[in-house]
Amino acid sequence: MPHPLGSTPPAKVIAVHLNFRSRAKERGRTPAAPSYFLMPPSSLSGSGDPIVRPEGCELMGFEGEIALVVGRRAHRVPPESAWKHVGWVTAANDAGVYDLRYADRGSNLRSKGADGFTPIGPRLLDAAALDPFALRVRTWVNGEAVQDDTSDTLLFPFAALVADLSRLTTLEPGDVILTGTPAGASVVTPGDTVEVEVSSADGRHSTGRLRNTIAEAGHPLEQWGAMPSADAALRADAWGTAGPPALDEATAGALRSLSTATLSSQLRKRGLQHMTIDGVHPAAPGAKLVGTAHTLRYLPLREDQFERRGGGMNAQKRAVEELRPGQVLVMDARRDPSSGTIGDILALRAKMRGAAGIVTDGGLRDSAAVATLGLPVFHAAAHPAVLGRRHVPWETGVPVACGGALVQPGDILVGDDDGVVVVPPDLAEGLIEDAREQEAQERFIAERVAAGDPIDGLYPLGPAWRAPYQHWRAAHPDH
């Protein structure tokens, strides 16, 4: 395949760990100075080339970025003249597999440096014709916009990066600098197509869309080295604000068959005493909710902040548009039900996005209309007031307090007429098994009580009733 930068590959490909303010907010940290990692030139590829996910990996991440290509040798250049050493600007996808990040923590060699993991292109823009503070980067996955930000929001402007790097490392013509990704980076799977475009803010200059499809490797990863590894925390980190994928249907179906009362009891047995979202009830009685959490946080109304954050595509609307199938929108409204936090239009949009439900410890507008949508919605109270009466929509994809419970993105929510409980994903399998056993015992006990037996020694199930219960259990395998 032709090299995206011509016949001579660059000596260095340098990437910035964290640089967009939106990404820093998403990650919950803001660095005082830029930090970098190196990728081999062999990681570069072009538009149309596949990005191959190694066998055994599940967390292939994409990161749309603005790439700088050095045009003039830079050694100890000051920030005020550093931009003159940039020859071209193009689009990049800083792809990688989180499953191997642990193996080279910080250096990202295996997780980011595999062959073809860094596509750039398709066109190079003349840096001299561009305003470095007025560039836009956008990313689409399967045609859906997922990232959109501008270079005026960078923590460390382009010239600062070039100057900083050149203090100790000579930048040679053709070297590539990836300048960081904005909020919205997440996970893709084989068959997905990622497109990245860099343009001037006025739209006059564009790289065109860098287009790459994710493919699965056709061979196993050799065993002589670090192997892919993932856990719940890594999955949450990889999926970011987009949230982890929906529960598999087997797990969702099992949880749907269990009552929140049983799940709450089992969580207590595990020492988790504060897993109920208190004070909420379903808009439509009989609703059953099961899904993974996507979070939205409101803060108390402050008029100047509402003017800045309340209009347009605010955090409330972004939260709805970020929903993925199987997710539950969980809203932290500080247990203040004296204003609506969502109404029928946004609830309908959530349903159309494939949401599994909505939970808010605040007020619900248009409650009668919401109740007819067929979407499980749990709320503290009905209230006719619009958003700007008590709340400022602040941020999405962060841990929140909803109804007194800590809810993290990716936590499992289960709701019924008794309320809503929070289930940590890593406990789900064991919890389901024990909850099924508890409910089977309670059905047996209920039958015996209905037959006239006293509850002493029966509820909870005592030694004298164990053998009759096991006999009953064998005769009722579906229980």
pLDDT per residue as tens digits for the range 287-301: 999 999 999 999 999
The token duo for 433 is 């098994």
* Maximum distance among all Cα pairs of the chain, rounded to whole angstroms: 91
- Residue 50 clears pLDDT 80, i.e. is over it: yes
Residue 1's pLDDT band (cuts 50, 70, 90)? very low
**Lowest-confidence pick of 102-106, 251-255, 304-308:** 102-106
Residue 230's pLDDT band (cuts 50, 70, 90)? confident
Q: What is the DSSP string of 43-109?
A: GEE-TT--EEEPTT---EE--EEEEEEE-S-BSS--HHHHGGGEEEEEEEE--EEGGGGGGGTTT-H
pLDDT at 244: 58
- Residue 307 clears pLDDT 70, i.e. is over it: yes
- Residue 206 clears pLDDT 50, i.e. is over it: yes
- Residue 313 clears pLDDT 70, i.e. is over it: yes
Residue 388's pLDDT band (cuts 50, 70, 90)? confident
Q: Which amino acid is at 252?
A: A
The C-alpha torsion from 116 through 117 and 123 to 124, rounded to 10°, is -110
pLDDT at 245: 59
**Lowest-confidence pick of 78-87, 446-455, 467-476:** 467-476
Residue 53 or residue 8, greater confidence: 53
All structural domains of the chain, each given as residue ranges with its CATH number in brackets, are 13-240 (3.90.850.10), 244-423 (3.50.30.40), 429-475 (no CATH)
- Residue 353 clears pLDDT 90, i.e. is over it: no
pLDDT at 224: 85
- List phi, psi (to 5°) of 471: -65, -45
296 neighbors 331 (Cβ within 8 angstroms): yes
pLDDT tens for residues 314-351?
889 888 887 888 999 999 999 999 999 999 999 999 99
- Residue 409 clears pLDDT 90, i.e. is over it: no
135 neighbors 199 (Cβ within 8 angstroms): yes
Residue 246's pLDDT band (cuts 50, 70, 90)? low
- The CA-CA-CA angle for residues 367, 370, 376, to 5°, reads 115
- Residue 231 clears pLDDT 60, i.e. is over it: yes
Mean pLDDT in residue range 124-130: 96
- Residue 4 clears pLDDT 70, i.e. is over it: no
- Residue 266 clears pLDDT 90, i.e. is over it: yes
The token duo for 337 is 């039900």
**Percent of the chain surpassing pLDDT 70:** 96
91 neighbors 182 (Cβ within 8 angstroms): no
Mean pLDDT in residue range 452-479: 88
CB atoms closer than 10 angstroms to residue 375: 21
- Residue 26 clears pLDDT 90, i.e. is over it: no
Mean pLDDT in residue range 441-455: 93
- Residue 99 clears pLDDT 50, i.e. is over it: yes
Q: Burial letters for 27-49: b for 16+ Cβ neighbours within 10 Å, e otherwise?
A: eeeeeeebeebbbbbebbbbbeb
- Residue 56 clears pLDDT 50, i.e. is over it: yes
Q: Which amino acid is at 391?
A: H
353 neighbors 294 (Cβ within 8 angstroms): no
- Residue 423 clears pLDDT 90, i.e. is over it: yes
Residue 177 or residue 309, greater confidence: 177
